[in-house]
Structure 1
Amino acid sequence: MRATATFVLFLVLLLTPASASAADRLVPRGWLGVTVDGPLNDPGYAHAAGEWDRMASSGVEAVRTAFYWHSIQPTGPEAFDFSVKDQLVLAAAKRGLGVLPVVHGTPAWAALNPGDPASPPRDAADFARLLTALVTRYGPNGSLWAEHPEVVKQPIRAWQIWNEPNLMRYWNVAPWAPSYAALLKVAHRTLNAADPGSTTVLAGLPNESWKALQALYDAGARASFDVVALHPYTGKPKNVIRIVKIIRRVMERNKGATRPIWLTELSWPAGVGKTKQEGDFSTTDSGQAKRLELGLELIAQARRRYRLDRVYWYTWLSTEGITSSGFDYSGLRRLRAGTLVDAPALAVFRRVARRLQGCAKPLGDARRCRT
């Protein structure tokens, strides 16, 4: 009789739904992130600490940010200035956020075409020395962590090599694929030597990304990266998944099917009626909120099938009206005439993050979220 009662109790416990506080995550830790740029790249920005805290409490678990080569080595190959990036990496680490650096922006002294900000490097060896220095500073045995034992170490293991090289504004050599593939090969070899556990992330590919990826395979880049990165700017959220499907077919044809895909920029800027329209993916504030919600839901649903291992919203904080671009209105937070405001999309981001991360309490309370 006692055995029967014990068995019945076991069945009850087995079949009773888990409480909200023990809800399982629908995505792995670090899956959902944002880009950090704009004012947060200014080391003197007065509101930086508050913005980092707000990110962490809103469900952001990873950040992607530019590591501009011309800022780290502005004057020549001998000197490195890590001061700006030190502040950013430490701010992220204090809140348990991983960092994905996008390493690009050739300094004049190393440029193939000096004076052109879109110039690739003249000598890939210069870029290799930069990557080695970055791993030495921020990697598993990085000097930054030794200098700051009060901060829980969050070593950088993944490095994104350049940004959108299939656009002339970032890589001004045509055809772009052979020269970028050559740099990527050197970068991959350098990162593996500096940190055997590192991950080489392909530059984010926008527009007809499937053609760009095929061009890289044709240029011999198949063994020179660990992750395919996309910037699927498109008007309809469902088209993000369509682009991913096409990319997967390209990867399969080129024996790259085992690699994951990261969406290193996802955005629907809310610039309609405020600035020039940025293609069909530009929308209004309410449209941005709706597309963000649907987009993240669709991507999360397709995550396992297509190995969509990361997604970064572009961007966390933007300054409205600073240029003529709709991306001035892409931020979940905005600097509007000197005042910080929430975009309507921020509340949606928080709600989706809460559901995907299995949080029963405010997202800042890590004890309530499974990791």
Structure 2
Amino acid sequence: MRCPAAQRPPRAAERNLAKRPAAIRLARARTGGLPMSRPAGRRQPFRRLSLLASLLATCGTALALAFPASAGAAPHLAGVQSHVLWANVSNAEMDRQLDRMKQLGAGITRVDVGWASIEPDAKGQHDSWYLGRLDHLVQGANARGIKLLLLFAETPCWASTAPGSLKQGCQGAWWDRDVQNYAPRRMSDYADALAFVVKRYGDQVYSWEIWNEPNQDYFFHTDDPVGEYAKMVRAAYPAAKAADPRPIIVAGSLSDSDFEFTDALYRHGVKGYFDAWSIHPYSDDRSPLDTAVDSPRYSLVLGVPAVRDVMRRYGDAKPIWLTEFGWSTCNVRGPVHWQNCVDRSTQATYLKRAFRKMRTWSYVPVGIWFNLKNTSSAPDDRVGNYGLLSQDDSPKPAFAAFREIAHELQDGSSASPPPATPPPSVTPASLPPRHVLRRRHAVVHVARRDSTIVITGRAPRRAVAKLLVFRQDARTGRFERRASYRWRFAVGRHGHFRLRLHGGVFRSGTWRIVVRPTGRAHWHKAAAVLGG
């Protein structure tokens, strides 16, 4: 989902944690987060998952429910995203949310799990406190008959490719310096950590998802997102299957219906390294059936078939899971579609349309609504108002709409007959030409020369690009939310650019340089950090 590139979730007020284990400090010091989700600037990061559920009466018994091993074995499962491991969620609140899911008829819930919380200090050193929380979640969901899709992401400082100016020897609150959103140095470290939890929980966890929205720089900082994510998938899948072949391994987790990024990943050899492909087909503030969009990427009804068609081009019939989609009920209404929200009645209407459309796609067995509950009470907070429940736990109209849809999917009925003429879909012939599907990437390099920053790189030729420069706060170690400098520039006819930023302010300090497309041009932004 989309979020302003500089927007971050709130931090917890608790800071007096110096004597606690690192994972506890990490988990409790960061209360917010978001699903990791939307395109160049689409949603917010999902944050640290900490805090699990209350002890159940059967706490000492591991509940082993036998789930089908096929990615398509549970046709048309309706589920919700939940953040029951966030540090600001009490045990009692976690139990209430699981009970709400059961009341909804949700068959599955997607929960963000942090590699950085499991191995915060070193490879193979597993934090027992955090694993205890995760144990309780697994027990609680199984006890209620709710399947788990656990999203496994966030790099520990010791494994991160973040620059030394951010890692700072992994001392202090490195998670507040965005270290965890950099790609790992060695994908084998990620694969080993995933294998550990897969083996630990076996078929008590229905499915695992490899990272979140690698097509967004916000969640996956690297100069080569396609290449690095492909390496991650190719390393993680065989390791997970060797640990236990039963859980479904889901790859992709792409912001929007990004058929171009999907194509690029197939060209990097991901075919055969997942059981299901996942996307987040947000439709901005439009109906899920709206086709008046700049690209199929931003339409649920067009985007899902577009991704399917790319997969078919490579001879792949694996199912597609919709692991995030939804509409926010904030009060923002403006000219930019992806920043807008809808009223509560419209949210309920769009929910029904989306899930009923999903029923017509035999290759889409799972749809997960973002989010179960609001994460903010601010009326203008777009990311915080996607919930079926308000923050005070009162249901929105979409809560009843989801329950109705869940019952329809369970009994095979439908409250309304299918339309005589189905909404338009994307056929292979109507997709952009193959050369357009080859996702283009920008590359940026920075260097300091006295009081000048020299920025060079590559981007699609003659493209109009935007340069953003973010200053690092020397006190907190975090980059500022607003760009200190912004420029628009044209890339040369050969695809190269060279920029010079002058001024004494650049003599020192750490800066994050971002080159990104303007509008909805189809190329990936690039970023680099210039140390102090």
TM-score (norm 2): 0.55
The alignment status of 1:240 with 2:300, answered yes or no, reads yes
Q: Name whichever structure is richer in helix by fraction.
A: 1
RMSD value, Cα: 2.5
Distance 2:334 2:398 in 1: 19
Q: C-alpha deviations, 1:289-318, integer Å up to 9, x for none?
A: 111111111111x232xx001000011112
Which fold has the larger relative contact order, with Cα–Cα distance below 8 Å and residues 6 or more apart in sequence?
A: 1
Conservation of the 8 A alpha-carbon contact between 1:29 and 1:61: no
The alignment status of 1:46 with 2:92, answered yes or no, reads yes
Partner of 1:18: none
Distance 2:189 2:408 in 1: 45
Conservation of the 8 A alpha-carbon contact between 2:326 and 2:386: yes
Give the C-alpha shift of residue 123 in structure 1: 1.1
Conservation of the 8 A alpha-carbon contact between 1:275 and 1:326: no
Partner of 1:268: 327
Conservation of the 8 A alpha-carbon contact between 2:332 and 2:340: no
Distance 1:276 1:341 in 2: 30
Distance 2:85 2:347 in 1: 21
Match of 2:371 among 303, 315, 323: 315
- Alignment length (residue pairs): 313
Give the C-alpha shift of residue 245 in structure 1: 1.3
Distance 2:412 2:257 in 1: 37
**Structure 2 gap ranges (5+):** 1-72, 168-176, 290-298, 414-532
Give the C-alpha shift of residue 242 in structure 1: 1.1
Indicate the SS of the match to 1:122. coil
One-letter amino acid matched to 1:316: L
Conservation of the 8 A alpha-carbon contact between 1:70 and 1:108: yes
- Judged with a 3 Å threshold, the aligned counterparts in structure 2 of structure 1 residues 293 and 172 are, in CA distance, closer, same or farther, namely same
Partner of 2:387: 331
One-letter amino acid matched to 1:320: S
Partner of 1:303: 361
Conservation of the 8 A alpha-carbon contact between 1:43 and 1:87: no
Partner of 2:193: 130
5 Å matches for 1:184-223? 184-207=233-256, 209-223=258-272
Distance 2:338 2:205 in 1: 34
Conservation of the 8 A alpha-carbon contact between 2:152 and 2:209: yes
The alignment status of 1:92 with 2:141, answered yes or no, reads yes
Conservation of the 8 A alpha-carbon contact between 2:237 and 2:249: yes
Match of 2:399 among 327, 346, 349: 346
Distance 1:92 1:38 in 2: 11
Give the C-alpha shift of residue 208 in structure 1: 5.4
Q: C-alpha deviations, 1:228-266, integer Å up to 9, x for none?
A: 10101112211312111111111111111x100000001
The alignment status of 1:69 with 2:115, answered yes or no, reads yes
Partner of 1:167: 216
Distance 2:114 2:334 in 1: 27
Indicate the SS of the match to 1:125. helix
One-letter amino acid matched to 1:284: D
One-letter amino acid matched to 2:185: R
Conservation of the 8 A alpha-carbon contact between 2:112 and 2:151: yes
TM-score (norm 1): 0.78
- Judged with a 3 Å threshold, the aligned counterparts in structure 2 of structure 1 residues 72 and 324 are, in CA distance, closer, same or farther, namely farther
Conservation of the 8 A alpha-carbon contact between 2:332 and 2:339: no
Conservation of the 8 A alpha-carbon contact between 1:39 and 1:318: no
- Judged with a 3 Å threshold, the aligned counterparts in structure 2 of structure 1 residues 185 and 174 are, in CA distance, closer, same or farther, namely same
Conservation of the 8 A alpha-carbon contact between 1:276 and 1:325: no
Partner of 1:363: none
The worse-fitting range, judged by mean Cα deviation, of 187-196 and 197-206 is 197-206
- Judged with a 3 Å threshold, the aligned counterparts in structure 2 of structure 1 residues 208 and 332 are, in CA distance, closer, same or farther, namely closer
